[in-house]
Amino acid sequence: MRGDDALGPMLIERLEQMPIMPNIDHHWDFQLCPEHALAFAHYDCILLVDASTEIEKPFCLSRVLPSQEHASTSHSLSPPALYRVFMTHVLEKGRPPPLVLQMEIKAYQFDLGSSVSPQAQKNLDKAWHHLRSTLLQHHCFMAFYGLIRDA
């Protein structure tokens, strides 16, 4: 890992330890690519987790909507572009699309070989507490950087 880039996998490791979530599918990867859209077909709700320098708050949990950009031939996709690939090329006719959520955790440094920064660790803890309380209320998640399937 590169410093704060470990935030996504670290959050998913915590989810894997939750006793209420015994059946967790997860996938560790360093970028979203068109092939990941195939996994969306097996879930009702998807959570994409990643470190971000683009947000101001410690974390941001938001709904992902399919983008209008046509990036299905790219090797690296944004969450909205990946959702569009799914909606355009994978979703079966008549089947409702999954709810796709994105959790971004505020990150500060991505130096090769460095550990997670203290500020990012605090943000991870805040994101974890929020997500944990959400999962206690709703058991329908698949997470990427962890894919979580409801039992």
pLDDT at 146: 42
User: Residue 15: CB partners within 8 Å, gap ≥ 6?
Assistant: 21, 24, 131, 135, 143, 146, 148
User: Band of the pLDDT at 1, cuts 50, 70, 90?
Assistant: low
pTM above 0.85, yes or no: no
User: Band of the pLDDT at 148, cuts 50, 70, 90?
Assistant: very low
Q: What whole-number distance in Å separates Cα of residue 65 and Cα of residue 114?
A: 34
Choose between 39 and 134: higher pLDDT.
Answer: 39
pLDDT in tens, 59-87: 999 999 988 765 555 567 889 999 999 99
CA distances, 1 to each of 23, 61, 101 (Å): 26, 23, 24
CB 4 within 8 A of CB 117: yes
Domain 3-144 has what CATH class? Answer: alpha beta
pLDDT in tens, 112-127: 889 999 999 999 999 9
* Domain residue ranges of the chain, discontinuous segments joined by +: 3-144
